[in-house]
Chains A and B, each alone.
Chain A
Amino acid sequence: MSRDANTSTLRRDLADRILRRGPLEAVATTIIAAGVVMLMQPFFLTLYSWSFAITLFGTVMFTIVSKVRE
């Protein structure tokens, strides 16, 4: 019983720490930046082909996580 409560508290703490606007926005920003770099890099055509999907994913993620509580 007590172990369950501890596990639940731990999980909530972890969720509280990670599922906040700041860190999630930072992740979304990094994904967008990676997408833009992939779009403009001159080395691999494959990276260029995936750039739009990555940028779109980052942008949608940013739009969603900017509504998450602070």
Chain B
Amino acid sequence: MNDLSAPSITYRAVPVRPAVARRIRGLSDQALAWLFITPTIVLLLAINVFPLVWAIYLSFTNYRANRANAPTIWLGTDWYRSILTDPDIWAAMQVTAHFVIWTVLIETVLGFGLAFLIDKKFRGHGMWTTIILLPMMLSPAVVGNFWTFLYQPQIGLFNYVVAFVTGRDASSFQMLGDVTLSPWAIVIVDAWMWTPYVMLICLAGLRSIPDYIYEAAEVDRASNWRQFWSITLPMALPFIMLAVLFRGIENFKMFDMVNLLTGGGPGSTTEVASITLKRAAFESWRTGYSSAFAIILFVTVFGLANIYVKALNRVKNR
């Protein structure tokens, strides 16, 4: 018999353990957990905690980043006192307040209205939702440049539409160059961009209301108006509060869009706090002063974030 088959060879798997795996095998669960989270902790300490502590230290000194080798003098709370008694900084805070209050108000009213409409199932509501959400997906830099062109007095579409509706000459007003109109110009752009975000949060709130509550109200012959005031609004309120807080915090530290649209001008009519801070830090090179200002803004945002987290927990516990 001609045996052409290969001679049978028995292969035996020999486990080869890399050195790291061998070392990890001996670690406890807790040690392994620490091993995994240590890089993240180190990164957070390096890029978040260290700059914060350093900025707190600088806020008590006369340090200037463009004269790093000059001797640093300890000034105590001088910068804080200077900022908190400066009428110009106070004016910047009022510009910020105007921006925050009006954007949050407009975005909440329009966002909730849109959410209320989108929540009613109608033909093509998915398509409309996508179209409404588009501005939110754009970069603030793109939106800033885009609206600069829309606000052009000669060729801008915005002026053309206003002229068409009111009958005024399109080149007779400048949205970005007028001291009265420019604060509203930045409000309009922010509302255009972020109303869809508020709508999304409100929509989540409206969709979380169980249908049986409305059915019970129907049985009790409650009118649509009564259902809105007694069921829809109270049950969606935590979500609306969440949207208000989130947009409030974001707009309090708004920089990019306003910087691209007006750069704080004309004069200082749209100079929100973050633009004042940028000018002090990178145009006047008053690093210690701007660090103190940044700490004041940070404490305010941190305080608001605490309220935000509390509101978030309330929504979560519902």
Residues of A at the B interface (CB closer than 8 Å) are 25, 28-29, 32-33, 35-36, 39-42, 45, 48-49, 51-52, 55-56, 58-59, 62-63, 66
Contacts and interface: CB of A to CB of B under 8 A. Distances in A.
B303 A35 contact: yes
* Most A Cβ at <10 Å: residue of B80, B96, B100, B304: B304
* Most B Cβ at <10 Å: residue of A39, A52, A62: A39
B90 A29 contact: no
B299 interface: yes
A49 B299 contact: no
Given A25-B310, A42-B94, A52-B296, A36 B84 contact: no
User: Interface residues of B: mostly helix, strand, loop or mixed?
Assistant: helix
B74 interface: no
B130 interface: no
Contact of A40 (B87, B94, B310): B94
Given A42-B94, A45-B85, A52 B80 contact: yes
A40 B296 CA distance: 13
A54 to B, nearest CB: 9
Interface size class of B (residues with CB under 8 A): 10 to 19
Contacts, number: 52
Interface in B170-207: none
Interface string B258-297: 0000000000000000000000000000000000000010
Interface string B292-318: 000010011011101100100000000
Nearest to B307: A29
25 contacts: A32-B304, A32-B306, A35-B303, A36-B300, A36-B304, A39-B93, A39-B300, A40-B93, A40-B94, A40-B96, A40-B100, A45-B87, A48-B90, A48-B93, A49-B84, A52-B84, A52-B300, A55-B299, A55-B300, A56-B299, A59-B299, A59-B306, A62-B303, A62-B306, A66-B306
A33 B307 contact: yes
Nearest to B90: A48
Contacts of A51: 84
Contacts of B93: 39-40, 48
B303 A59 contact: yes
